[in-house]
Amino acid sequence: MSAVTDTYQGSRRVSRGHIARIVRVFLVLSAVVMVGPFLWTAISSLKPTDKIFDGSYVPKGFTLDHYRRLFEQTNFLRWFANSVGVITAIIILNLVMASLAAYGFVRLRFRGRDFIFKMLLVSIMLPQQVLMIPLFIWLQRLGLINSYFGLILPFSASAVGIFLLKESFESIPVELHEAARVDGASELSIFLKVYIPLARPALATLVVLTFVINWGAFLLPLVIAQDRSLATLPLGLASFSTQAGIEWGPLLASAFLADLPVIIAFLFLQRYFLAGLTQGALKG
């Protein structure tokens, strides 16, 4: 028996080896294509202005001039601070609202629970373009256009986040909940002392997911923050990159700096990124 399989594998090994080699070349080439643009941006942002498009892969001159001009002559630091502030608030609110709601859906019973949950799920399907105009009119009426609250509140809860935590809470044995109840603990203290600590990986995934989605948010913030002083990074970069007479040095420097927090977070929290974006999408 083993002799038979051996010969089978032996005859296939030749072609398998060939194909495997081609596949590997393809994979490595793809990796170069994926990294190339990032490297090009980083390197170009360090080249003197007249050398940016000189076609060299290795910079002949090196300068931090573009970064200095970015900080001194544009509102980059303002955009960055706006983005950091807005995203911090969005993440905290998402954590609170999603974990509370998920607990409610998993461990409490009330009329209409399944219906409300289904309605929340439907909202994942809704494209932003349907939301854009009425959201603007509505926020205008509420006085939230051109305010930080307007940039934060509409994004402070997400159905994907609730779903993510619901899954996690469901995997926690009901017996823990029962035992705590017998000891006389209230729902709130069970939630805080039992469920939250046990759901830490899911909470981390939610943080990462919320961060990636909102750090790059463009269409709705574009409508909500008409006032330049409220511009977040994507808004600032968009206006910077579409003005007449682009200054490539500072522009590429700004793109690189805007992406840096994402890259750094990704390096350290890779598994949460992969879990968050695939799970978030799969469940949605």
Partner 1 sequence: MTLVSPRRRIGRTTPHPGHRRGRGGIQAAGFIGPAVIIFGLFYAYPIINTLFISLHDWDIFGGNHEWVGVGNYTRALSDPAFWSSLGKTFYYFISVPIRIGLGLLLAYGLTTFDRWPIAQRFLRAVYFLPVITSWIVVSVIWKGILQPSGLLNQVIGSLGGPRLLWLADRSLAMPAIILMTIWKAVGFSMVVYSAALLAIDPELEEAAAIDGASNWQIFRRIKIPLLRRTTTFLFVISTIDAMQFFAQAYVLTNGGGPARATYPVMLYVYEQAFRRFDAGYASAMAYLLFLIILSITFVFNRINKRNEI
CB of residue 31 vs partner 1: minimum separation in angstroms? 5
Cα(84)–Cα(87) distance, integer angstroms = 5
User: Smallest distance from the beta carbon of 88 to partner 1, in angstroms?
Assistant: 17
Nearer to partner 1, 129 or 197 (CB): 129
- Write down the least CB distance from residue 72 to partner 1, Å: 20
CA pseudo-torsion sign 211, 216, 218, 219? negative
Closest separation between CB of residue 99 and partner 1, Å? 9
199-202, long-range: CB within 8 Å, 24+ apart, which pairs? 199/99, 199/165, 199/168, 199/169, 199/172, 201/168, 201/272, 201/275, 202/164, 202/165, 202/167, 202/168
Q: Is the CB of 134 or the CB of 197 nearer to partner 1?
A: 134
The two three-digit tokens of residue 249, written as one number:
């040095």
Quick one: 17 or 77, whose CB is closer to partner 1?
17
Closest distance of CB 166 from partner 1, Å: 10
How many whole angstroms separate alpha carbon 186 and alpha carbon 192? 10
Q: What is the C-alpha radius of gyration for the chain, rounded to an integer number of angstroms?
A: 25
Nearer of residues 39 and 77 to partner 1, judged by Cβ: 39
Alpha helices in 47-158 (DSSP H): 65-73, 76-107, 113-125, 128-142, 148-152
To which residue do tokens 């305010």 refer? Answer: 147
Which lies closer to partner 1 via its Cβ, residue 5 or residue 60? 5
Closer by beta carbon to partner 1, 85 or else 132 = 132
The DSSP symbol for 97 reads H
CB of 200 to partner 1, least distance (A): 19
Contact 161, 98 (CB under 8 A): yes
Q: Least CB distance from residue 234 to partner 1, whole Å?
A: 4
Helices then strands, each counted (H, E), the chain: 15, 0
Residue with smaller CB distance to partner 1, 77 or 108: 108
| 9 CA to centre of own chain | 45
* CA gap 272, 284 in Å, rounded: 17
